[in-house]
A and B are shown apart, each in its own frame.
Chain A
């Protein structure tokens, strides 16, 4: 069975999934190019640049999950969505906690190690 045996519905699904990949790719490109271009050519202040990089990265991660990994908020049997949200929670706790604790230690006892 080859392509032309697909039913109309499958043909529809195929093109909508293809569209989703293309949209995802274009969005990801924009979100990658923006921070690179800004860092290379703009003279924004460091703090502003870091914020732009951070925001673009977070949006791009969501874009990848949505368009490449097909994880969405749709009401389906979504253990995987719960899993991602829980992982994010743990990640925030562990990374946030580590930064908070260690950077605080630096300011108090090892100021030379502060970034």
Chain B
């Protein structure tokens, strides 16, 4: 009976990559499958020894050879370069035969495995993932190279379970790891935590520790897991988290509403602040743009929608102000800003923006403008005021100081009496100036002056009465055309004062040698009441003096008794009543002063 091997063609026909070699590594027999594996032709160049078969990787073979001679089953990984140049890896297992002279060799192509292993190792390095294992029975711990690297310990460092856990930062981090590891040992529950370790070099590092337990007979025998250095990522994410938190607090506390508009699907998402801003309940909001449109003040609607459209088409940035009417009916000023996001083709897909309630800012702004206006007016008055202080007070006081100096130094004895006379005049002027100044200040500060209905004709009559001596002396022709019932809403003493001033001015600046004709008319023009004083006196050259006519201490006639303060006081009194005074005149052709009083409703701010 033939041996089975001979019946079936021996090794050559085995469907496995196997070979029979002797102690010199010479090939005695091999399967065709093996030859195919190495791309060799079975008929012709059959290799004579192992080196020829796998190629010139003598180092690997020498190692193998030595082990074979020791008589053990031997495993070796060898590399082989194919005729086409590709690198292949084989796992070679050699089994000694009982005769002690020969060995069976089995080849396995592990190129794919080797490649993926390499890849995995590389990935581990790049991802900084290490592995570890705890044998709970022998209490021995194995760390991979990367695990050691993460801990910054030397290559030969031998950890145990305790030293391993002691790397975790004292406090919450160590407590946590001890907790999860204990639980894993007791219950076999896996864990996945992110904690801080303090490396052997003293550096703090964020790591991710993933662990699992192997339970045999209800008892954990082994713990294993991976260990990843996530320091960079964690720190970034913590930083980002802090930033996000801060931003959220800022947004929440600032009354800024954030909206997100899905342009493609016409969906509008609001954050909580938006609902507060628009005083809309979340459940009442449909989430479409039309819902927003509906809240915009009708006067601002067209412009606001245009702004959105322009932003989407890319014509301009969305940065605008509009008013809304909230669901409670209040009007709010909203400042809206937004940014359009586009796909790769540049089509608008999304618009995100912020709304801020600027009503209060608007209000304050308006108030400031009003204040500024008032302040400007007051500043002008104050400037005039400064001028009078500078001019009239100082000119008289300097006169006094010069005159008294002369008296004391007896500079010109013949003029002593004259000096005394001039001192008297100067002090009288000073006194008069102070009285007038007091008048001016009173207008600007007197809170007791009450608005009331003032009969125009009645007031004028009493003014005329008060100067009847002057009228008797100069005999002017005064024609009054005023409706008996015409009333203005004003401050009575101011009206009387203005009338008196215009009246005495006309008399004072009448033409010499010609009777003064003065017409006083009043007209109710609906939106205001105009009272005019027209005379045929000297008139004023407005080209030259118009700009400063109502300023303090401007006189234009070189008149000895002109003090130049009358029109200034009148102007201030008119200002205080929200009324206006204007003048029309030509030199030598008389003058017309017109007083414009606003209708009552515009004057109620002073009530």
A and B: bona fide binding partners: no
Q: Which residues of B contact A (CB under 8 A)?
A: none
